[in-house]
Structure 1
Amino acid sequence: MKIAVCGKGGVGKTFIAGSLARCLVQAGHPVLAIDADSSPNLALTLGLTSGDAARIVPVAENEELIRLKTATEYPGVFRLTFTVDDIIRNHAVLTPSGVHLLVMGTIRAMGSGCTCPAHSVVKALMRHLVVERNEAVILDMEAGIEHLGRGTAGHVNSLLVVTDANRKSLEVAATICRLARESEIAHVGLVGNRVDESRHETAIRSFADEHGLDVIAIIPYDMQVTETGISGNALDESSSVAFQVIRELSSRLIRDGE
């Protein structure tokens, strides 16, 4: 089972990705969570402390790892083929939630050094994770799906596009869904998040109808999620209405993936 979660920044996709990963572990599935956002914070959602999260070196920023994988004896020339399974074994972090976490990191901008070796490692690793791994993989993505690429997108079981009722968030969601269709991802659906009024749900469903999109879940606004985000305390999953809806969503995704 391979599930990618994306959406406009600030709509709560990381909370949803992390909660899905937790639910899958609790259902007995081994889970590898991939933080592919340029501002990674999935570690906190999975129960790591700020200090532990800060000590994680993202794959794309691990200069020694990139050198070992791509360097040749010729300056300016690097290897295009290499193994990546050992990266998961050596660099994935076991979190208190029981989910293993791998942080991809940001490829440096042009002008700050050659981006090709790091890009090659990240691309090869993403393909390995989506195409060749057997465990459940949850990918917390940026707004686009460029990380997946055409060679791997078709192997993602589901793309969950998170949005709130804000028109800008909905427009970004529609663009992502269009890109996903061009990449032939099998199942693409909207997840409405932080919905605290009926008119917000109506706005999301109406927009989805206008654009021919499927709404697969509506997650209510949950003050406990907001408060734990501020305090840094652990979420009480048993009393969180948002988490319970995500648990139901995870159960449907498990059934669909069987």
Structure 2
Amino acid sequence: MKIVICGKGGSGKSTLTALLAAFLAEQNRGVLVVDADESNPGLYRLLGFESPPRTLMDLLGGKDSVREKLRRKIRNEGREEVNLFERERIFPGDIPGDFLRRWGSCLLVVVGKVARAREGCACPMGVVAREFLRRLETPPGEIVLVDTEAGVEHFGRGLETAVDGVLAVVEPSLESVVLAERIRDLAIGSGAHFLGVVLNRLTPEAEVILGEEVKRRGLPVLGRFGVRPEFTGASLRGERVPLSEEIRGELVHILQGIQGRILERAIRS
């Protein structure tokens, strides 16, 4: 099962990704985290790794090499098939060790990062992420979590077409709610499965107002997190996000909601 996690910048996408990954690994469930955010460098720290792996862009020869393959396809009006990856099907075991980080049953892969000024747009990284996810094969029961850049640009690259579901993180702001509504509409418009939203950084007052806003827009709520100083502290210190029994309970609720929504769609189709 492949899940892409979207939302406004600073809403808590990376934190939710790290929490879900840590909880699944704690349960000895296989989980592969795909860092598809070309800007935010800190996800590996929230997962407890001391350093990030080399990127998939490096594995493919670098951004210039990937860009040239894409240009060749454009010059031939799409008639020439451009295979960025040698394998049609990619298993986690096929990925060289330098391009992975492992903690228990949790694996981390990084697509690419903007490393220098004026290196051009991040579109090649989006294509690499989409093609990697399309080819990625995982054992039954393993979950793939994809942390994306802020906003909706990845929808223009078709990333959501390579996963089983789209999840949005919403913080207490109208901008975040409106963006989640747009994420839902874009996901549905592309044929992807919109799973729902996770509300984050809630105060008692914000929970009431935000709950009303997402309900009015027909956005299913799969989970809720209040303001958590321990999350902020872990992010500031660059440490693995901590799990309490309360947080574990909410993560179980979120995972059950995800599985239920996916099963519901499978039954309808």
Interval containing the TM-score (normalised by the shorter chain) = 0.7 to 0.9
Kept in 2, the 8 Å contact 1:107–1:118? The answer is: no
Q: Partners of 2:215 and 2:120 in 1: how far apart?
A: 46
- Unaligned stretches of 5+ residues in structure 2: 74-80, 264-269
Q: Does 1:216 align with 2:222?
A: yes
Q: Which residue in the other structure is 1:64 paired with? A: 61
Query: Paired residue for 1:225, among 225, 231, 235?
Result: 231
TM-score (norm 2): 0.75
Q: Does 1:7 align with 2:11?
A: no
Kept in 1, the 8 Å contact 2:4–2:146? The answer is: yes
Q: Does 1:193 align with 2:200?
A: yes
> How far is 1:70 from its partner?
9.0
Kept in 2, the 8 Å contact 1:192–1:217? The answer is: yes
Q: Partners of 2:99 and 2:30 in 1: how far apart?
A: 13
Alpha carbon RMSD of aligned pairs, Å? 3.5
Deviations 1:50-94 (A, max 9, x none): xx13xx33223556366888989xxx8587124253785115423
Sequence identity (%):
24
User: Which letter does structure 1 place at the counterpart of 2:4?
Assistant: A
| Alignment size in residue pairs | 246
User: Which letter does structure 2 place at the counterpart of 1:158?
Assistant: G
> How far is 1:182 from its partner?
0.7
Q: Does 1:178 align with 2:178?
A: no
Q: Which residue in the other structure is 2:86 paired with? A: 83
User: Which letter does structure 2 place at the counterpart of 1:219?
Assistant: F
SS in 2 for 1:140: strand
Q: Which residue in the other structure is 2:253 paired with? A: 248
Kept in 2, the 8 Å contact 1:165–1:195? The answer is: yes
> How far is 1:215 from its partner?
1.3
Q: Which residue in the other structure is 1:144 paired with? A: 152
User: Which letter does structure 1 place at the counterpart of 2:18?
Assistant: G
SS in 2 for 1:95: strand
Kept in 2, the 8 Å contact 1:34–1:103? The answer is: yes
Q: Which residue in the other structure is 2:78 paired with? A: none
TM-score (norm 1): 0.77
Q: Partners of 2:256 and 2:133 in 1: how far apart?
A: 25
> How far is 1:208 from its partner?
1.4
Cα 1:89–1:59, aligned 2, differ >3 Å: closer, same or farther? Answer: closer
- Unaligned stretches of 5+ residues in structure 1: none
SS in 2 for 1:5: strand
User: Which letter does structure 2 place at the counterpart of 1:31?
Assistant: V
> How far is 1:14 from its partner?
0.3
Deviations 1:126-172 (A, max 9, x none): 3213xx4443210001222626855x635533311001111111122
Cα 1:107–1:27, aligned 2, differ >3 Å: closer, same or farther? Answer: same
Q: Partners of 2:203 and 2:122 in 1: how far apart?
A: 43
Q: Does 1:19 align with 2:24?
A: no
Deviations 1:15-64 (A, max 9, x none): 10111122222333211100111223221111012xx13xx332235563
* Residues 51-130 of structure 1 mapped to structure 2, 5 A cutoff: 52-53=51-52, 56-60=53-57, 64=61, 77=72, 80-81=82-83, 82-84=85-87, 85=90, 89-90=95-96, 91-96=98-103, 98-106=105-113, 112=119, 121-129=128-136
